[in-house]
């Protein structure tokens, strides 16, 4: 994913701008791994192999996301209004 694309993305739930934490960049500056988060609804969206995973809560699989987030130093906590766990913050 390019940084130009990142500037065009928004939260698929509430359409707010996303914050980005870039974990791994390629040689040409493309984002290979990272975590996008919405400051308004507190949802997170991983970037895996350069692909932003911007899918609704009902199609998300915590068991697939949790190990990757743990590798990046994040943990999940239950959200107040959502069945999908929300990003708590950097644990390292």
pLDDT one-digit tens code per residue, 25-58: 999 989 999 999 999 998 999 999 999 999 988 8
Judged against a pLDDT cut of 90, whether residue 65 lies above it is answered with: no
What are 89's strand-pairing partners? 75
pTM over 0.85: no
Q: Which residues contact 23 (CB under 8 A, 6 or more apart)?
A: 32, 33, 34, 35, 47, 72
- DSSP secondary structure, 27-92, as one string: TTS-EEEEEEE-TTT--EEEEETTEE----GGG--HHHHHHHHHHHTEEEE--SS-SS-EEEEE--
Structure confidence at residue 81 as a pLDDT band (50, 70, 90): very low
How many domains does the chain fold into? 1
**What average pLDDT does the segment 53-80 reach?**
82
Per-residue confidence (pLDDT) for residue 5, from 0 to 100? 93
Interatomic CA distance for residues 33 and 22, integer angstroms = 6
Domain limits for position 55: 3-90
The pLDDT, as a whole number, for residue 86 is 55
* Cα distances (Å, whole numbers) of residue 57 to 5, 31, 40, 43, 60: 22, 23, 16, 9, 5
């Amino acid at each position: 994913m390019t940084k130009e694309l990142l500037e065009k993305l928004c939260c698929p739930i509430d359409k707010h701008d996303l914050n980005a934490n870039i974990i791994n960049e390629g040689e040409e500056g493309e984002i290979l791994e990272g975590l996008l988060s919405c400051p308004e609804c507190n949802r997170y969206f991983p970037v895996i192999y350069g692909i932003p995973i911007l899918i609704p809560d009902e199609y998300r699989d915590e068991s697939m996301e949790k190990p990757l987030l743990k590798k990046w130093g994040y943990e999940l906590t239950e959200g107040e209004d959502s069945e999908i766990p929300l990003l708590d913050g950097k644990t390292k």
